[in-house]
Structure 1
Amino acid sequence: MATAVETLSKLERRMTLTFPLADVQAEVEKRLKVRARTAKAPGFRPGKVPMKMVAAQFGYQVETEVLNDKVGRAFNDAAVENNLRVAGFPSIEPKTSEEAGEGQLAFNATFEVYPEVVIGDLSGSEVEKTTASVSDAEIDKTIDILRKQRVHYHVKGEQGAHGDGGADQSAQNGD
């Protein structure tokens, strides 16, 4: 597997991933054989479906899975090998067969990397500490606001979560 990394802008990179077509085809065949063990088709017992029918039914799906796995693994390996800190997911496009070469698959992965951050000397910097004081009047005001926000209304004379409302249902001073 060959990789080449080129810089497109300050944070954007393009990586060319190539690997042999024979590896992909071998993996597809291996996965199709595994899938054939449990494949079901009308007129055949489970697991006895001919390989041609399994390939026709599941071939595209298995090939896509294999390509996704191979390209993803190749991209991650190349990113680690080149010490790249990838930000987000890459945009991957296949290259044409003329660009890739005979018996090769090639893909372009365009992605962004995290910027290199260098922290300067902070020994000469000053930090200003702020303090805040809270008075008793501000505390009382906040408690009054909270009481108004969390007020409970109960029917007079009924038992509730905060005690009974009293046996007398007539209006009294302070109700």
Structure 2
Amino acid sequence: MQVSVESGEGLERRVTVELPAEQIEVEVTKRLKQIGRTAKLDGFRPGKVPMNLLRRNYGGQVLQEVYGQMIESSYQEAIQQEKLQPAGMPKIEPKESTEEGLFSYVATLEVMPDIKLTELTGEIKQPVAEITAQDVEDMIEKLRKQRATWNNVDRAAAEGDQVKISFKGLVDGEAFEGGSAENVDLVLGSNRMIEGFESGLVGMVKEEKRSIDLQFPEDYRVEELAGKPVTFEVEVNEVAEEVLPQVDDDFAKDFGAGEGVDKLKEDIQENMRRELSQRVKARIKSQAMDLIFEQNKIDIPKALIEEEIEALRKQTREQMGQGAGSFELPREMFEDQARRRVTLGLLIGEIIKQNEIQVDNDRVRQTIEEYAASYEQPEEVVKFYYGNQQQLASVQNVVLEDQVVDWVMEQVEVVDDETTFAALTEQG
């Protein structure tokens, strides 16, 4: 077997493989003889069919099979011989050989990049925050709002009230699709409607009717309505005010704190500490990944990007649920994200390899226990992870990435960034 490699654009390689035609002929003849043992042709007993007839009837099929198998085996041998690392499946094309008695083909493929890591520079801002008593009170207030009820009142609607309305929208004096509704509940100040709609309802009372002249924003989601003036004819059917529950033992029990309000506050504080830790960790990791990605420019095999785009497409369709498969999500939606994920995957792998980073099993255990802490029976969750190799591997990968983040923090300057729990949660 003779092998030559030619470099194409970027990571593309064209591997030319030449095989002796005699080798192919020997294999074809061997297989035809095997077929001849059982082949049934008119006028001949099995095992007695002449070779020329076997070739005429089965030669084409056998030749294709031999070609396919010899290409597969010789391709694997060729890339090992040339020390190539394919990034995907090759494109195989037959080629006319320059010499008689040779069978040739060209395998066009992309290879994995040769990664040379650069020395990282810059800084990472490490958020520093505490859970205050006010943070806990703010969280309790959010929980109260989750349990809020609405009582009808006989007064004018104010900001924060819920109104039940019927309305009809008119553009150029004509009703438009989606612009009308009956008995819709709307909390004033929720910003569900276009600007000016909710504030235009403030001061209205039950059974009052009002026309509100507004304008759709220039970037409105319905292109035909964007930027156009609109009149909404609105009738208020009910006005209701928010009633928040008392923070008492019954309220605490609703959130699993049977011992009372003090226990509820303890649970809330513990959950907030856990969330704070996760958000700080996520913020640091995001900065570390940005530094790795931005300071290491490498060529990426197109095949890997396409694979990642398809994976993201599939994931998005699954998240969208039934009906998502009825239309094709454009690949452009995912290209930048796919490129970043593939790039970081290769770079992180190289960092782990070059620095001989081994997964810290103690951190794996700690991470699993943190996952389990929010469940009623955490020990069962821990057993589940250690009893499921796939789930355990996913945690090990997370821990390895965390260890890479630690490595990044050793390379660059880390500065404290004073903040608050509220600021961290608002920023996401």
TM-score range, shorter chain: 0.5 to 0.7
Residue in structure 2 matching 1:107, options 105, 109, 132 = 105
Identical columns (%): 38
2:25 is paired with a residue whose SS is: helix
SS at match of 1:86: coil
Aligned partners of 2:52 and 2:59: how far apart in 1?
A: 9
Cα 1:128/1:114, change in 2 over 3 Å: farther
Counterparts of 1:19-38 in structure 2, within 5 Å, are 19-38=19-38
Paired with 2:113 and 2:82, the residues of 1 have a C-alpha distance of: 15
Give the aligned partner of residue 53 of structure 2: 53
Corresponding position of 1:3: 3
Distance 1:38 1:125 in 2: 75
Give structure 1 stretches of 5+ with no counterpart: 144-175
Deviation by residue 1:101-157 (Cα, 9 ceiling, x = unmatched) = 02112222211112233444569864757999995628x66x9xxxxxxxxxxxxxx
Residues 126, 66 of structure 1: alpha-carbon distance in 2 compared, 3 angstrom cutoff: same
Q: Which residue of 1 aligns with 2:89?
A: 89
* Coordinate RMSD, CA, aligned: 3.2
Q: TM-score, normalised by structure 2?
A: 0.29
Are the structure 2 counterparts of residues 25 and 76 from structure 1 closer, same or farther at C-alpha, using a change threshold of 3 Å? same
SS at match of 1:88: coil
Q: TM-score, normalised by structure 1?
A: 0.65
Cα gap change, 1:55 to 1:127, in 2 (>3 Å) = farther
Q: CA separation in 1, counterparts of 2:87 and 2:50?
A: 45
Deviation at 1:49, TM superposition (A): 2.6
SS at match of 2:90: strand
Which stretch of the first structure deviates more once superposed, 49-58 or 116-125?
116-125
| CA displacement at 1:88 relative to structure 2 | 2.1
CA distance in 2, matches of 1:83, 1:6: 14
Pairs aligned (count): 140
Matched to 2:74, the amino acid is A
SS in 1 for 2:46: coil
Secondary structure (helix, strand or coil) at the match of 1:19 reads strand
Offset, 1:48: 3.3
Relative to structure 1, the CA distance from residue 128 to residue 42 in structure 2 (aligned partners, 3 Å threshold; closer, same or farther) is: farther
Q: How does 1:111-130 map to 2 (within 5 A)?
A: 111-121=109-119, 126=124, 128=126
1:117–1:50 CA distance, 2 compared to 1 (3 A)? same
Q: Which consecutive residues of structure 2, in runs of 5 or more, have no partner in the other structure?
A: 148-253, 255-428
| Counterparts in 2 of 1:10 and 1:47: CA distance versus 1, 3 Å | same
AA aligned opposite 2:101: G
| Secondary structure in 2 matching 1:55 | helix
- Which structure is richer in relative contact order (CA contacts within 8 A, separation 6 or more)? 1
> What's the secondary structure of 2:88's corresponding residue?
strand
What amino acid sits opposite 1:26 in the alignment?
V
* Distance of 2:126 and 2:22 partners within structure 1: 65
